Structures are given as C-alpha cells and as structure tokens.
Structure 1
Amino acid sequence: MLYQSAPAADRLQRVVLFHDFSQALGGASYLVQVLIAQLRRRGVLVTFFAGDDGSGFRRDDVDFIPLHGKPLLDRTRLSALTLGLYNRAVFSRVHDWIRCHDSPGTIYHLHGWSKILTPAVFGALRQVRERLILHAHDYFNGCPNGAFFNYTTERDCRLKPLSIPCLRTQCDKSSRAEKLWRSGREALRRELGGDVAGATRMLLIHPGQAANLKVAGWPAARLHAVRNPAAPPCADRVRAEENRGVVFIGRISTEKGADLAARAAAIAGVPLTFVGEGSAMGELRALNPKSVFLGRQDRAGVARALMRARLAVMPSRWSEPFGLVALEAIGSGVPVIVNDRALIAGEIAGAGLGVAMNTADVVAFATELMRLHADDACISAMSRAGHARYGELCNSEESWAEQILAHYQDVLAEAAVHQEMT
C-alpha cells in the first residue's frame, strides 16, 4: 500500500477525521463511515472527532471523540448566534489533542463542518494546516450559503463571496439576517484558518466544482477532484421497464426539489414514493395527496423502494455537486431524471443513463414522466446501460479510498520538504 512503502519520514501514521455527525444520516455522513472502514481495513490508525454526542457510533477500533454539539437548526436563536459562530470548548478540545498527540505522520481531514461544528475548528487546526485536507461535499469552504446559488431568484450565483455585491444580496433560503450570520461564519473561518483556503488542499467530489471555488479565491493548485464512490443498493438489475412509478430519495426539502417532483407526478398521474425525511413533508402531502412517504430507510429499505420504481428523480433547484442518489439508482438499473444544473447531468444524459432537463418547468417535467412511462423500450435501454456503466461516473469504495490515501501521502511528502526547508 502507498502508506506502507513510503520513506519513513513521510509515512502515514494516523488520520484524524472531523465530521458533524457520527452516524450515516445522509450522503457526506455516510461516506465518512465508508472512509473510516476503508482506512481501518488497510491498518491505518484513525481518530474521529464527531460534532454530535456520538450515541450512534458503533466502532470500537477507532479513537472516537464526540464533541457533544447540537445541529445549528436545533439551537435557540441566541445559541446559534453565539456557539454557532465560535465554540470555544471545541477549539480547546481539538487544540489540546493536537498538542498532545500530533506527529509528522498525522493527516487531518476535515470532512464536513457546516451543520454542527463551527469556524473554531479551523482555529484549532491552523497549527497543522500544512497537513490539513478539506472535502468539498458542498461549498461552505468558500460561499456563505454553501451553494453558490441564490435561493430567492433560484439562479446560480457567480458573485465573489464576501464581496460588497455578495453582502448586499439576499440569497439565503431563510432570511436576510441568516445571510449576514452565515457571512460572518465564512469571514471568521477565513480569519481563523489564515486565508480563504485554510488548508493545503481541497478534495472535490466533481471536477466541475473548481470553477466556483476559484471565484471564492481558492488557488487552482490546491483543488483536486476525487469523485465519490457509489455502490448500488440493488445488486441485480431492476427490471424498471416492468414497473410503474417514481421514487424520490433524499432530504425532503425545497432546495432538493421535492415539491417539483410532487407537482409533476400529480400532473402526470403516476405514483410517487418519497424515501427520506425533511421540512417539506406537510407541503408535499397537500400538493400530492396520493404520494407515499416511507421515511428514512436503511440500504435494504432503499433497495426495496428502487425495485418497485420505473424512474428515480433528482430535481434539486441548485447545482448538485455530485448526485450520489442518482448514481445509486442508475447502478441499480433505475433510470433517472435529473435537473440539468447538476454537475453530473450532462454525463448521465450523454451516456444514455437518464434524462437531464429543467425540472423547475413542472409541466415539461410531467410530460417527460408520462413519455417515459409509455416507452418500455427506452426505459429498458437506459436501465441496462446504467446497470452496466454507472461506474464510469464514480469510484468504487476501494478506488475512492486509494485515491484519498494517495493525497494523504502527497501532503505528507510536501510537508516534510517544507519542514526541511525551514
């Protein structure tokens, strides 16, 4: 393995991971669990700092440190304004761990921090920033609202984050006050981290993310694409051409376009199943009373939902940086309709694995649902192609881990050279 064959001065000794959640609640939190498993399988020592209380973490082969924070959305307004900006206890805990346990062979990997953790973690990690890697599951390491998207106008945003035009624009999904608060968090992150990057490199989940992060001020040389892994929940191809109905999998919210799916399915008169939880469930029941809500499901439950579906949909309003849900459906043999803003949309359509379109045009969306429900041959062709070729657009869990390990090793080598020069 890469970390075993490297020179002693550069050898990977430990990976310190940081993430908001200690259990797999969604895409990024699921992937951090995959990464932990892959690292331990290769014998790499892991310390895992989780922002929550750790009640859902079950591994005993990891040095696990829960930070006992609450999701920002669950805090009172006063708590969010204070601890949501800077959590001194978290700073002290991380800073003290580094002081006691750091070594030249330790890599720090901040996987996700926007839901519970605060810019305080960047202050603690500043002392080891030459061995710090960030992961771009969203755009919170550059854009205040994490999306380079104006939720008010429902348009992609190309303003330079924290510029005067940016600060004057109300783009937040909630309110002007929350935009200013999020801008404060981003400004504080940059100040505590030392610059806009605050790390030696960022791992992108799709190469298309680089354009936005460059607008934010990230140097191109620090941006490196490592596509997410996707493992289809259904091992055997779903015979989608024999099914009827649409499945929406993921967070049930406005930005994910759950309401667009509900409206389009109602117009088309096709069954719709939601797998997941979220704030928009009440609205969706009114928009499409016949829709079925299964709630959050484990992978077996997701597989059962896919096995009954003819189509999956990913109609997010913003430019999804990857689309794990879409690729898992495609790999299972269920074609997808995706918003053409998603970074993988063109790749999916170009490979004949699904349809990319403006899903915000609900009438056109409904028309496409009806067309595909009437065309068994088209669905069969996309189903077979997706089941055979989904891997062209993503990594396997093993190849994903190997690429990340290669970045760890490169960072250690660069840090060792820098240390020798100073």
Structure 2
Amino acid sequence: MEPSKIGSSPERVVLLHDYSEALGGASYLVQVLIGELRRRGIATTFIAGDSGARFDRSDVEFLPLHGTALLERSKLSALTCGLYNHRAYAQTRDWIARNDTPGTVYHLHGWSKILTPGIFAALRKVGDRLILHGHDYFNGCPNGAFFDYPRDRDCTLTPLGSACLKSRCDKTSHAQKIWRVGREVLRRGFQQCGAHAARLLMIHPGQEAQFRLSGWTAERLRAVRNPVSPLSADRVPAEANRGIVFIGRISAEKGADLAARAALRSNLPITFVGEGSEIEQVRTCNPDAIFLGRQDRAGVARALSSARVAVMPSRWSEPFGLVALEAVASGVPVVVSDRALVAPEIAQAGFGLAVDTADLDTFAGVLTALHRDNHAVEAMSRAGHADYRSLCNSEETWADEVVSQYRQVLTEASH
C-alpha cells in the first residue's frame, strides 16, 4: 500500500510556529503548507507566536499569541521568558482543552525564537499526534546546530552529555550556552525525555545521525525533503552574466563574510540579498559589495537574473539549503560549502560545485574559474534548470508526503 493511502485524512491540522509571516525558510514553508492543506480541504488552525499583523487568510482559524522575538527583548526579559513563555503555554493548552479531537494532528515547526520550551508542556497530552519539523537542530542540540562556533567545526558530541556540558560551543558566550542547556533540559522534561512526539520530520536524510545522537529513535524519524520552486520560469542564461549573489541571513554562520572576501580576492562584483546583524562587518570585508536588503520573491528573481553564480558558504552543515536549490532551479549555478548536506548531491548532479569555502584561495579560485568558462557555466545552468527536482519536492508532492505522515500518525495513535 502506498504511504499516501495509509489511514484517513485528519479532521484538523494545528500548525504551530514562532512567526506568522514568511521571514525565512521555515516560516515560508509554513505558509506553503497552510495553502496546500486548505487546497485539499483540510481544516487548519495556525497558532503563531507573534502578533500576526500581516496574516490575512480568512479560511484558517488563527490564534496569534502576541509574543516578541527574544532578540527584540531586553536581556533580562529574553533570559526569563526565553526559558518559558507562559502565555504560549496557557493559550495553547486552553485551545487544546476546548477543541482537541482524536482526529486532530499537531505540527510544530519552530519554537526557539518566541514559543520556547513552554509550548511542549502544552502539547504533552497530545504527544501521540504531535509531529516536529527538523528545520534546524533545536529538537536535540542546545545551540540548534551541532556546531562549535568558536572553533568553526561540526560537533559530534552527545547533546547534554558531560563533554557537551563542558564544551564552550556557543557563538555568544559560555553563559549563553548554559542558558541554552537549560532550555533543552526543559524541552526534554516536558516531552518525557525528549521523545514524546510521534514523528520528527527531517528536511534531509543526512540529519539522521545528529538526531539519533539526541536520543531520537529511527522509527520516529522520517526524511521529507523541502519543496523548491524556481524563482524564474525561464532559465537564467548565467553564462552571459557576471557577478556573484549571496541570498540569506547575513551572518557569520552563513559565511557572508567568506563570500565578501572571496569576491574581493577574485575581483568580482557581489550582491547580498537579505538582512542580518553583521552587515557592517561584511561591508568592511568588501566595501564594493551591494546590499539589497530583504526582498520578496520577485526581488530575489531580479538579483538572480543578472548573476553568474550563487554562493552558499555556510560554516555549519546546512541541513538543506533552500536558497541554493532555488538558484539552481532558476538556472544559476551554485558554489556551496562542502559541509552542507546537499553539497555532494549538487556536485554529482552537475548543478554546481562543492568546495571548502573557508579556504579563501580555493573559494576565490573557483569563482574566477567559473567566470572564465562559459561552457561549464552553461552546462551547469541547463542541468540545474532541467533536473533540480531530483533533489527536492514540489510544493504539491511535499504536502502529499507531510499529509501521508499525518495519516500514519493518526492510524498509530488509534491502536
């Protein structure tokens, strides 16, 4: 029997996420899922941590919790509320008490910015119908990345083990690490040792090793690759273009400074699309860089239309790399960090190159070579535009796989 035929469709799906608007990859995918669920006629409730000022779907029951992102709070407020958002707990608990049915599925996408571990206390009674989404590693690793920021290397320590507790891996301070450990302890406590959920949906099968380190068992892990839609319907003729584009959060872990330095070293123009706390530091690395700020999909498409190559030089093991595959799908070859889980797949498919982007000589050399080789760039451009779907889902097939998991979870919960 096909997975999509197992069980019956849910009576209702309750989606939970920090943000009610598309501010990044995970929050964008929540919006996609809302649309796909409603297109299938599945009743949907959306519980969002923020005020929901820009959410305007009348076909969705919407519960904004009017919270504030931790980075926008005072240090004291973030320290206390970041451990336990009582409002998120109380309002979600009350909604469940009033509305829960055996046919309701709960799907938690992101909680680390506003909802906090308190959301797991509210969801504890419906754990056998709860699905978590592994957009990051906060459902296992205290700093959410399995990455040692000060040492610039991946982490293979068992989360909350003695070596983990001693490790000074946080990008801000060891005090911040201890606070994050406290959050993970709370999350696991509210989730009965952290595994009280029916599923954790990984966005790439390569995440399994990290989640297994966190105590997740194989039968609770499922890989559902993200959906990707081309930003340009027609192939971008990248072989006729010049210049580099970086799309995403402008921060050290995303390697924005590496992109700026490599572009300067190769004497090539670079455009940054996105926002972040380290724009000025990156501008210092390359005073000629162009910063467009956050753009809608049309704006990102315009930036890609004149690019020769897109870059994703993340310092950590990027679990998927939506921006890279959106570029590939539009016909723009990519140079990605060889740490990214999708990197070997991109290279093997001929959509771009996977290199050690932390090695600036190598990174700059590859960018220079691609600007000299029209034939190679055109081949990558055509291959990516034609075959990008081999590494991802469409929005429709992604939703089909997610709904299949809902059905399976309901079947298991009823036995």
Give yes or no for the alignment of 1:199 onto 2:194: no
Stretches (4+) displaced over 4 A:
2-7
5 Å-filtered alignment, 1:13-412, equals 13-412=11-410
Q: CA deviation at 1:198?
A: 2.7
- 3-state SS, counterpart of residue 17 of structure 1: strand
* Whole-angstrom distance in 1 between the partners of 2:6 and 2:373: 55
* Whole-angstrom distance in 1 between the partners of 2:279 and 2:179: 27
- 3-state SS, counterpart of residue 242 of structure 2: coil
**TM-score, length of structure 2 as denominator length:** 0.98
* Conserved 8 A contact 1:141-1:197: no
* Whole-angstrom distance in 2 between the partners of 1:172 and 1:349: 31
* Conserved 8 A contact 1:345-1:356: yes
* Whole-angstrom distance in 2 between the partners of 1:345 and 1:100: 46
Q: CA deviation at 1:11?
A: 4.4
Q: CA deviation at 1:5?
A: 7.6
- 3-state SS, counterpart of residue 198 of structure 1: coil
Identical positions, percent: 63
* Whole-angstrom distance in 2 between the partners of 1:200 and 1:29: 22
Q: Evaluate the alpha carbon distance shift between residue 70 and residue 262 of structure 1 in structure 2; reply closer, same or farther with a 3 A threshold.
A: same
Q: Evaluate the alpha carbon distance shift between residue 197 and residue 4 of structure 1 in structure 2; reply closer, same or farther with a 3 A threshold.
A: closer
* Conserved 8 A contact 1:3-1:11: no
* Whole-angstrom distance in 2 between the partners of 1:79 and 1:323: 32
* Whole-angstrom distance in 2 between the partners of 1:299 and 1:351: 25
Q: How many residues align?
A: 414
* Whole-angstrom distance in 1 between the partners of 2:413 and 2:89: 23
Q: Evaluate the alpha carbon distance shift between residue 99 and residue 281 of structure 1 in structure 2; reply closer, same or farther with a 3 A threshold.
A: same
* Whole-angstrom distance in 2 between the partners of 1:81 and 1:160: 25
- 3-state SS, counterpart of residue 115 of structure 1: coil
* Whole-angstrom distance in 2 between the partners of 1:183 and 1:317: 22
The range that moved more, 84-93 or 399-408, is 84-93
Question: Please, which runs of 5 or more residues in structure 1 have no aligned partner?
Answer: 418-422
* Whole-angstrom distance in 1 between the partners of 2:87 and 2:315: 36
Q: Deviations over 1:340-399 (max 9, x none)?
A: 000000000001100000000011101111111000000000000000010000000000
Q: CA deviation at 1:284?
A: 1.4
Root-mean-square deviation (CA), in Å? 1.3
* Whole-angstrom distance in 2 between the partners of 1:325 and 1:127: 37
- 3-state SS, counterpart of residue 197 of structure 1: coil
Question: Please, which runs of 5 or more residues in structure 2 have no aligned partner?
Answer: none
